[in-house]
Amino acid sequence: MTIPDFEKITAFWCEVVNTIEHLLDETDEFNAREVMTHYEDSLRMIDQNLTFHFERDEKDERIEMVFGCDGYAQSIASVLSLVDAAPTIDGVQVIAFNHRHDPLPTSIRIGEDEFELDDFWYSFRIESGEFHLSVFVKNLDDQDQNPAVEAVMVFLDALLGEFDLMTRVATLNWYPQPSVPEDHGLRPLVELRDQFDQSRADISLIGVTLH
């Protein structure tokens, strides 16, 4: 587990307080990207796994600044420490981890490719309190370079939330999708949230290992 550096966390928030109003008002994409890059560099000095993005909360017209750690459970403490140290910023809400989405996204674009939630299937098993998840992807070849895998990770964040994905999924395995998934006892990925929540009492808190 990474031990948070509170001096660097304080320096990061000082930078944000001094620049975020300019960033939110910026209309030039290049200038905005430059400020965002400074934020990213400062976060990497705290913990190389830290990430952030902005979302707009349409209900109360606030901007949400969402921090995560790209699925690395050892960096959870860094995210929580960073968010806990956040100052009050007018019009901005600071949030730890990507939360579940309601309604769920039905499609996600990764580069030039678009993927539907209905494209993916899954299976699972629970052993000794550990939730083992397998996802089945069409034409699975290079897992690290496959945009479908990236799309599934976005869907999983939306389905389960980033924190549950890191702390309650023991293993996440990838397999080529059979031509008739139902014949192999697989379920559509859209059903994962309900199945996971029904099994929650049987699932222990653990870290995640990717295979």
Note the pLDDT tens digit of each residue in 11-51.
999 999 999 998 888 888 888 889 899 999 999 999 999 99
Written as six digits, the tokens of 133 are 């998840």
Give yes or no for a cis peptide into 103 (omega within 30° of 0).
yes
Neighbours of 204 (CB within 10 A): 12
For residue 121, what are the β-bridge partners? 136, 188
- Local structure of residue 203 (DSSP, 8 states): -
For residues 206 and 92, the model is more confident at 92
Non-local (6+) Cβ contacts of 203 within 8 A are: 126, 129, 130, 131, 168, 196
Are 16 and 35 in contact by the 8 Å Cβ rule? The answer is no
Alpha helices in 63-134 (DSSP H): 76-84
As a whole number of angstroms, the distance between CA 69 and CA 51 comes to 6
> Measured between alpha carbons, how far is residue 9 from residues 29, 112, 157 in Å?
26, 36, 25
Note the pLDDT tens digit of each residue in 164-211.
999 999 999 999 999 999 999 999 999 999 999 999 999 998 755 544
Coil, strand or helix: which one is 84?
helix
pTM of the model: 0.74
